[in-house]
Chains A and B, each alone.
Chain A
Amino acid sequence: MRSRRSTTLTIGMLALLVYFLFPLFWLVVASTKSTADLFSTFGLWFAGDFSLIGNIRATFTHNGGEYARWMANTLVYAVISAAGATSLATLAGYGFAHYAFRGRGPLLGLILGTVMVPTTALAIPTYLVFSEAGLVNTPWAVILPSLVSPFGLFLMWIYARDAVPGDLLEAARIDGAGELAIFFRVVLRSLVPGSVTVLLFTLVATWNNYFLPLIMLNDPRYYPITVGLSSWSAQAVGGTGANAELLAAVVTGSLLSIVPLIAAFLLLQRYWQSGLSTGAVKE
């Protein structure tokens, strides 16, 4: 295959790259500054004093080290939610793709319809339900709603339909394998790229989730990093008793909070790349 280059496209891509990296660059620069430098030196370049280490220390020690606890909470919420949502989406997607059962069409339509409903809109009804069940202000209030990902199911349905040939299943059945054995020993391997994509999507979604934990959790011990940082930020600018010193910790905390996500993407890169392009070419 001949490789083609387009100068226009390259420049366009570079422009987009700068556009997307710009806020990140600001964040990196800003987190190396003390609160005083943050507001008295040029925003897009480093100040004379390099305060990153001091900022990190301040971030992790402020108010009894609650930042570390929030990071751990987020990690737990995100990993459990993402793993759970991925398993459910993989199982269900495969089921919809390869089993014929009564009501499959309408059911699938119903689930796909819920993709349209933003989870933020459901947060308050969910709160009312959870409050009846006595689950408000517990980690379950964040984890349970995140276990269901209609979009993940949709992705897995398409993926399972295209990546798992019906003939393969027929062959396995003729060889005498049970349905569960077929799923775990034959199908699962070919579904991995799709699953990893769903895993990353739900991981990011739970990691960044703000409104749901905001209203569900009142106790800072259960806060994820999003709500925690926002509470620090409010404390830093909130009028009476405001603690402007905290701003440097808010900025540094924001930078640190995305490091695990970046790591997850880099580590799982080879899987999700193939997952994203699946279905692009019809055989």
Chain B
Amino acid sequence: MSLAVSRIGRRRLLSMTGAAAAAAALGACSGPEREEQPPAEPVGQADIDRALTTPTTITFWTWVPDVQKEVALFKKKYPAITVTVVNAGQGLDAYTKLRTALKAGTGAPDVAQIEFQYIPTFSLTNSLVDLRPYGAEATREKFVDWTWGQVTGPKGEILAYPQDTGPMGMLYRADLFDRHGIEVPATWNDFAAAARKLHAADPGVYLTNIAANEPAAWHGLMWQAGSKAYTVNGTELGLAVDDEAARKVADYWGGLAREKLISTDPDFTDTWYQGLNSGKYATWLTAAWGSVFLTGSAKATAGKWRAAPLPQWDPARPVAGNWGGSTSAVITGTKNPIAAAKFAEFLNTDHEVTKLFTTAQNFFPATKALLADPAFTGAENAFFGGQRVNELFAGISGTVDVGWQWPPFLDQASKDWTETAGKALTGGGDVAAAIGAWQERLTAYAEDQGFTVVE
């Protein structure tokens, strides 16, 4: 992974430093503020119409199972365009392939599935096409605000269309809560007290499991706490994975882990699945998709779960983070950018298609229309005792902090987190000190890659 990141190359970054320096000289301030840059000349409607009626084949890399159903709806509307769906693997596998193909200059797809957190990684290498000339800005109102922030680049470019999301909440075992007289905690203080009470009542049960191998969930918790860990502006990079909010999160979980009031088993492993099924963990702090995932992986516990928002730092101002979800991006080098961009747009904005994603693939939507659609929110989930879980998470989605950004080297950030904070969590070490070490490692890495790091 680090190999792939380092292939971004120092030279390209250095050549970009010149531009950044010039911008700084003009009085642009550093830090999180974004310098808007006008989009390239918009593509005219006549060109769009021509492109969509000319027989064309585009390739779409995605891991979404049965996505042919949605693609068929596109084909129905635009019969001239043939979309070849290629399942090039999920997550890291897919990105490894994509990078290799981009590096080789051939074999990359026209449109690819990319998770929100990897957009800066691919936009740094100019691998994503700015969608503004193809009318992306007109769709802005369709998407939940925070998802639009996630696909917007530092210069105001639109790098992808949001497809599905993972606003975070708390899934909990109502039966265990009842048995031990635990109230659903509204604040993190309540949560810590509940953890103590529950573990004292039954030493075999932990209020939750913070997986020491899961930087994605940790980032979600930092996100909720209001951390501004990464701010990208050209080659200038704000890096503060140990800022005040992040430190608050680290102190909190480090304390609970040291007292052994929570467990730190790695997730998506045998032990962890067993823990979910046996009632070792009384909650799972997870994303909206977690509720779907549980129905398959913890069948034995059907009906015992309920969902609630994450406990809050400030109950007067509820905030959530996000974990997971993905987008459709158009890949640089495509010979049919108009068809590719319009396909990505259709796939994520057409009401029928986006709705199908929520039923056929159980996606948690990114569009305002679906999150307000009674057919979606009104569904009663038997696994959760008939609770309207979608409705709950739709509400949570509206509270996700809009300011969070991802670093252009997420692989490195994840790896370093696991080796510092993850280790401290399992070893009962000082997690706040560990995220200090995380910050140091990342700073050294970023400078090595040619970034100018500002705190």
Judging by beta carbons under 8 Å apart, are A241 and B268 in contact?
Answer: no
Q: Are B105 and A241 in contact (CB under 8 A)?
A: no
- Chain A residue at smallest Cβ distance from B59: A218
| Chain B: CB-nearest residue to A219 | B86
**A18 at the binding interface (Cβ < 8 Å):** no
- Measured in the bound complex, the distance between the Cα atoms of B269 and A39 in whole Å is 10
Within 8 A of A (CB), among B75-111: 86-91, 93, 96-97, 100-101, 103-107
The reply to whether A124 and B100 form a contact with Cβ atoms under 8 Å apart is yes
For residue B362, CB closer than 8 A to chain A, the reply is yes
Cβ-defined partner of B324 (8 Å) among A127, A136, A230, A240: A240
CB distance from B64 to the nearest CB of A (A): 6
| Given A231-B93, A234-B93, A241-B363, residue A218 in contact with residue B277 (CB < 8 A) | no
Q: Complex formed: what's the CA distance from A212 to B216 in Å?
A: 28
The reply to whether the CB of A237 lies closer than 8 angstroms to some CB of chain B is: yes
Q: Does any Cβ of B come within 8 Å of A65's Cβ?
A: no
Do A239 and B287 have beta carbons less than 8 Å apart? Answer: yes
Asked if A241 and B91 make an inter-chain contact with CB atoms under 8 angstroms apart, the answer reads no
B364 CB within 8 Å of chain A:
yes
Neighbour of A235 across the interface among B65, B292, B362, CB < 8 A: B65
Known contacts A127-B104, A241-B64, A243-B65: A234-B270 contact under CB 8 Å: no
B296 beta carbon closer than 8 Å to chain A = yes
Q: How far is the CB of A46 from chain B (nearest CB, A)?
A: 16
Residues of A near B61 (CB, < 8 A) are 218
For A134, the closest partner residue in chain B by CB is B106
Residue numbers in A under 8 Å from B293 (CB-CB): 239, 242, 244
Do residues A237 and B325 form an inter-chain contact, with CB atoms below 8 A?
no
Are B100 and A127 touching (Cβ within 8 A)? yes
Q: List B297-352 residues whose CB lies under 8 Å from chain A.
A: 297-300, 323-326
Tell yes or no: B254 within 8 A of A by CB: no
Contact B91 A238 (CB under 8 A): yes
Q: Verify B166–A240 contact, CB threshold 8 A.
A: yes
Residues of A contacting B65 with CB < 8 Å?
Answer: 63, 235, 241, 243
Closest residue of chain A to B269, judged by CB?
A237
Given known pairs A238-B63, A239-B324, A243-B296, the reply for A136 and B363 (CB within 8 Å) is no
In the bound complex, how far is the Cα of B96 from the Cα of A220, in angstroms?
16
Nearest-CB residue, chain B, relative to A242:
B293
| A273 in contact (CB, < 8 A) | no
State in angstroms the CA–CA spacing of A239 and B361 once bound together: 12
Contacts of B297 in A (CB 8 A): 35, 39, 244, 247
CB distance from B67 to the nearest CB of A (A): 10
Chain B residues with Cβ below 8 Å from A247 are 297
**Closest beta carbon of chain B to A123's beta carbon, Å:** 9
Q: Which chain A residue shows the least CB distance to B274?
A: A39
Q: Which residues of B sit under 8 angstroms from A80, Cβ to Cβ?
A: none
Binding site for B on A (CB under 8 A): 35-36, 38-40, 43, 63, 124, 127-128, 131, 136-137, 214-215, 218-220, 227, 230-231, 234-235, 237-245, 247
Question: Given A220-B87, A238-B63, list of 19 further CB < 8 A pairs?
Answer: A35-B296, A36-B299, A43-B270, A127-B104, A128-B103, A131-B101, A131-B107, A136-B107, A214-B93, A214-B96, A214-B97, A218-B61, A237-B268, A239-B166, A239-B287, A240-B289, A241-B361, A241-B362, A244-B293
3 smallest A-B Cβ distances: which pairs?
A244-B296, A39-B273, A244-B297
